[in-house]
Amino acid sequence: MRASARVPAPPLLPVAILAGWLLLLAQATFAQSSSYALIVASASGGGAFKDRFWKWASQMTETLTSEMRLPRENIILLVEDPTMNPSLATGKATKAELAKAFDGLAANVPSDGRLLVLLIGHGSFDNNEYKFNLVGPDVTGTELKNWLDRFSNRQVVLVSSTPCSGVLTKALSRQGRIVITATKSEFESNKTIFAQFFVAAFQNKAADADKNSEISMLEAYQYTAQQVEAWYKEQGRLATEHPLLEDSGDATAAPRPSPANGEGLLAAKVSLSSASKALPGAGSDSPELQALNAEKRRLEEAIQDLKYRKTALPEADYSSQMERLLIELAQTNQKINRVTKKR
Burial 37-70 (b: 16+ CB within 10 A, else e): bbbbbbbbeeeebbebbbbbbbbbbbbbbeebeb
Range with the poorest average pLDDT among 60-69, 77-86, 93-102, 272-281 = 272-281
Which is more confidently placed, 68 or 135? Answer: 135
pLDDT at 6: 44
Whole-number average pLDDT of the chain: 87
84-138 pLDDT, tens digit per residue, is 999 999 999 999 999 999 999 999 999 889 999 999 999 999 999 999 999 999 9
What's the average model confidence in pLDDT over 207-236?
A: 94
Residue 67 has pLDDT above 90, yes or no: no
What's the average model confidence in pLDDT over 227-243?
A: 97
pLDDT at 289: 84
Burial 114-126 (b: 16+ CB within 10 A, else e): bbbbbbbbbbebe
pTM for the structure as a whole: 0.82
C-alpha span between 196 and 207 (Å, rounded): 14
Closest CA to 298 of 34, 25, 31: 25
Q: Under a CB-based contact definition with an 8 Å cutoff, are residues 247 and 221 in contact?
A: no
C-alpha span between 254 and 224 (Å, rounded): 14
Residue 209 has pLDDT above 50, yes or no: yes
Q: Under a CB-based contact definition with an 8 Å cutoff, are residues 292 and 19 in contact?
A: yes
Residue 278 has pLDDT above 70, yes or no: no
8-41 pLDDT, tens digit per residue, is 444 444 444 444 433 333 333 333 338 999 999 9
In the chain, the percentage of residues whose pLDDT exceeds 90 is 65
Angstrom distances, CA of residue 88 to CA of 65, 81, 116? 11, 11, 18
In one-letter notation, the amino acid at residue 318 is Y
CA atoms within 13 A on the CB side of 267: 27
Angstrom distances, CA of residue 306 to CA of 174, 196, 301, 318? 22, 34, 9, 8
pLDDT at 20: 42
pLDDT at 274: 55
